[in-house]
């Protein structure tokens, strides 16, 4: 009996420079698949080469390997945000049944996430919020833990989102199935890398305490509606015990330009992205992959 792929539609949101587009470009770009395949034989990620996703993969080669600038996603009109389609095959793995995920995703401009907490901007972002609720899966990428960000940016944005969720649940019970993966991106950074294995305890609880408390209270663990992840599109140079080099595998130019827009792989042949698949797997199945590297 042929099993039909699970169709998962995801919206990716988060502030500017949180690595959303780089994450998708990394997912689309092929050479790193050898690395993923060595961790999980039989894992494949495919898409139509002539599509927006194919274009993203070609851009990724320039961005990730040569340091070309990746233009930030522009806010524009909700109808102009491209859709990216992936087919991800995950084989049976450590007792988890294999699955095939047809993934449709859109990557929202960071400005939209930042405007969530601004009262006078709320009218402008209504179309984007409507589009968020087309999907049953959200990936929220955070990257910054400057002391003020926890309460100034993240907490109000999540308060606004959870208010929207509870208002809509009254009318549409389907929304109770919504899952949210909150991802600490760019975890190749030295101060974060050690916390990547237990991101909830070691990253979110410690660095974003107010946001963490709010999310934990609003979506308690027993509901399985929200989960914390860490990911890195670049990885470190090597985390093999026999050849350990924990320096981030990203080169940041010294021309004074913003590191967030200009980082690229220091050593492309040692590319080990981390945590790319786990949030998607959980959003699609509600189950955890037991190998954090994925």
Sign of torsion, CA 49 55 57 58?
positive
Tens of each residue's pLDDT in the chain, 294 residues: 445 677 889 999 999 888 888 888 888 885 567 777 777 788 888 888 888 888 888 877 776 666 555 555 666 678 888 889 999 988 887 777 788 899 999 888 888 999 998 877 777 888 999 999 999 999 999 987 777 889 999 999 999 999 999 999 999 999 999 999 999 998 888 888 888 889 999 999 999 999 999 999 999 999 999 999 999 887 766 666 666 666 777 655 554 444 444 555 666 666 778 899 999 999 999 998 877 778
Domain definitions of the chain by residue range:
6-285
- pLDDT of 259 reads 46
Provide the pLDDT for residue 1: 43
Concatenate the DSSP letters of all residues of 89-149 into one string.
EE--BTTBPPEEEEEEEEE--HHHHHHTT-GGGTTTTHHHHHHHTT-SEEEEEE----TTH
Question: Cβ(60)–Cβ(67) under 8 Å?
Answer: no
With b for 16 or more beta-carbon neighbours within 10 A and e for fewer, the 176-200 pattern comes to eebbbbbbbbbbbeeebbebbeebb
Long-range pairs of 209-213 with CB within 8 A, sequence gap ≥ 24 = 209/150, 210/150, 210/151, 210/154, 210/155, 211/150, 211/151, 211/154, 211/155, 211/158
Residue 14 region, left (φ>0) first, then alpha (ψ -120 to 50), else beta? left
* DSSP assigned state of 158: H
Confidence (pLDDT) at 219: 96
pLDDT at 251: 56
* Residue 162: predicted pLDDT: 95
How many helices and strands in the chain, by DSSP H and E? Answer: 12, 9
Query: What pLDDT is recorded for position 123?
Result: 79
Q: What's the pLDDT score for residue 148?
A: 86
Domain 6-285, CATH 3.30.930.10 — does that match?
no
Q: How many angstroms separate the CA atoms of 63 and 70, rounded?
A: 6
Residue 267: the pLDDT is 66
**Between the CA of residue 112 and those of 33, 120, 153, 205, what are the distances in Å?**
31, 13, 12, 25
pLDDT recorded at residue 92: 84
Q: What is the pTM of this model?
A: 0.89
């Amino acid at each position: 009996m042929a099993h039909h792929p699970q169709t998962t539609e995801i919206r990716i949101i988060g502030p500017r420079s949180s690595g959303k587009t780089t994450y998708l470009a990394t997912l689309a770009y092929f050479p790193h698949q050898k690395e993923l395949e060595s961790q999980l034989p039989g894992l494949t990620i495919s898409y139509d080469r002539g599509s927006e996703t194919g274009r993203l993969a070609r851009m990724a080669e320039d961005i990730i390997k040569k340091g070309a600038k990746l233009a930030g996603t522009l806010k524009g009109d909700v109808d102009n945000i491209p859709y990216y389609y992936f087919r991800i095959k995950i084989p049976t793995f450590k007792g988890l049944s294999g699955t095939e995920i047809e993934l449709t995703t859109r990557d929202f401009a960071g400005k939209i996430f930042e405007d969530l907490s601004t009262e006078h901007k709320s009218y402008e972002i209504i179309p984007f919020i409507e589009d968020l609720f087309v999907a049953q899966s959200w990936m929220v990428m955070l990257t910054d833990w400057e002391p003020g960000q926890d309460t100034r940016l993240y907490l109000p944005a999540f308060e606004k989102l959870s208010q929207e969720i509870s208002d809509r649940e009254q009318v549409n019970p389907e929304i109770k199935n919504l899952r949210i993966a909150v991802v600490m991106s760019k975890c190749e950074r030295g101060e974060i890398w050690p916390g990547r294995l237990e991101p909830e305890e070691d990253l979110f609880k410690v660095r974003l305490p107010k946001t963490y408390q709010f999310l934990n209270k609003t979506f308690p663990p027993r509901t399985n509606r929200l989960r914390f992840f860490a990911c890195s599109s670049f990885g470190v140079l090597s985390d093999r015990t026999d050849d350990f080099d924990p320096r981030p595998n990203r080169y940041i130019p010294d021309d004074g330009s913003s590191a967030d827009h200009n980082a690229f792989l220091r050593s492309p042949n040692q590319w080990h992205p981390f945590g790319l698949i786990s949030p998607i797997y959980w959003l699609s199945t509600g189950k955890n992959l037991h190998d954090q590297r994925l």
